A and B are shown apart, each in its own frame.
Chain A
Amino acid sequence: MGDGHKNIFKARARGFRHRQASPLFIPFHLGILIKGDGFLHRMDIYLEREKRRVMVRHTGTGAALLKKLCINPETVLIIRSDSVVPLKSKLSDNDSVRIIPVISGG
């Protein structure tokens, strides 16, 4: 068993829902850093459920990105250029991705 669940439970213990948690806690000033300045690249992430954009420093797998954002991978898909990014795929700061909820409707 991996350590992913600990993250989720820690997020729960901190009193917020892991699906929406972390992006709210990414300092806003990081979001206004200019992409492509060669020094402080940030991955451009659009959170479809929250309808907001965040910029995060990340080089690693899709699964690691979701872990960083405290999002349960079971509840979302990562989309890059209209294709699904498998959780084991590598992402880097130059990427621009959307995180879409798989739960919809009613």
Chain B
Amino acid sequence: MVRCNKCREEAAADAPQLCRKHFMDYVEDTIHNTIASRCLFSRDDRIGVGCSGGKDSTVLLSVLMKLGYNVTALAVDEGIAGYRDASLASLKEYCASNRLPLKTLSFAEVSGITLDAHAAVKKPACTGCGKMRRHLLNRLGHGFDAVAVGHNLDDEAQGILMNLLRNQIAKLSATGPVAGITEVAGFVRRVKPLYFVTEKQVMAYAVLIGLPVSFDECPYARYSYRAQVRDALNDLEAVQAGAKRRIVEWFMRVKPKLMEAMKKEAGAPISADQVSEFLRASGVNA
């Protein structure tokens, strides 16, 4: 039997090898420390949590509730038939059973077209989708002190590498536990409490607390550049354990200098006229 590094009970997870109780404590403490040490928000703040019904955002919602934060679920419906409708249905069920308020907004409501219609014209769909999603999440987030998103350590390592490979230094410096370089009027603070928790740890936590997890993946995800970087990083991690964490740690060391250098180039994190841009890319005259 493999034992917990702390109490010698049977281990329920590896990396770190801990029993169920100590693993849950570890994940919750990591999230709490990220919030506190990076000043993401306080217990008096109203927090909107960007939710998709997937494991990351649902784990984030559940941990923030457990830690006593004032949270509201915010969901963007891109309009991906057979995928998003199912995950949003499970999110609605989760919110209803936990008496959590939920606000939603869809691509169709705002622009008149769904992501499926956009993807029929523009591939890969992720570029337009990501920008629109951030734009809509920002709209939903008005009135909140911060919007928390479920980006985990793997997502961040991928983002850092993608920006490096594309030589997008301004974009690179704008990532981190708090998104953006400077505060811009009209943009709600976007924060990432799962910044130091790996994707595998998030999934293990979801299994251990019995969250209803969907194993579906967005049908457009495999065409994305991110998917290629993700697979390459996972291969690297198999050769060099800890590679992803070291990428993020390296970035956290150089980030202050990068931010300082890039302050002049910093603009709004998303175009003010995102909807017209989305429509133009979809072949619709805005």
Residues of A within 8 A of B (CB): 1, 4-5, 8, 12, 17, 19, 48-49, 72-75, 77, 79, 82-84, 86-89, 100-106
**Closest residue of chain A to B125, judged by CB?**
A106
B238–A77 CB distance below 8 A: no
Tell me if A89 and B213 are in contact (CB < 8 A): no
Q: Do A72 and B235 form a contact, CB below 8 Å, given A79-B207, A100-B215, A106-B220?
A: yes
**In the complex, residue of chain B having the shortest beta-carbon distance to the beta carbon of A17:** B231
Given known contacts A72-B238, A105-B52, A106-B218, A88 and B203 CB-to-CB distance under 8 angstroms: no
Contact with A along B7-19 (1 / 0, CB 8 A): 0000111100100
Q: Are A104 and B238 in contact (CB under 8 A)?
A: no
Q: A77 vs B1: C-alpha distance in the bound complex, in angstroms?
A: 18
A105:B55 contact, CB within 8 angstroms: yes
Contact (Cβ within 8 A) B216 A86: no
Distance in Å from the Cβ of A65 to the closest Cβ of chain B? 14
Q: Which residues of A contact B203 (CB under 8 A)?
A: 77, 100, 102, 104
A-B pairs with lowest CB-CB distance, top 7 = A106-B218, A105-B54, A5-B239, A102-B203, A106-B221, A86-B14, A74-B234
Does B246 have its Cβ within 8 Å of any Cβ on chain A? Answer: no
* B164 → chain A closest CB, angstroms: 21
| Contact in complex: A84, B234 (CB < 8 Å) | no
Which residues on the A side are within 8 Å of B202 (C-beta)? 102
Contact partner of A86 (CB less than 8 A), chosen from B2, B83, B217, is B2
CA distance A20 to B110 in the complex (A): 39
* CB–CB B234/A104 < 8 A: no
Chain B: CB-nearest residue to A83: B12
> In the bound complex, do residue B204 and residue A74 qualify as a contact, i.e. CB atoms below 8 Å apart?
no
| Nearest residue, chain B, Cβ from A51 | B215
| B54 cross-chain contacts in A, Cβ below 8 A | 104-106
Q: Using an 8 Å CB-CB cutoff, how does the interface string of B50-61 with A read, 1 for contact, 0 for none?
A: 001011100000
B230 within 8 A of A: yes
A80 to chain B, nearest CB (A): 11
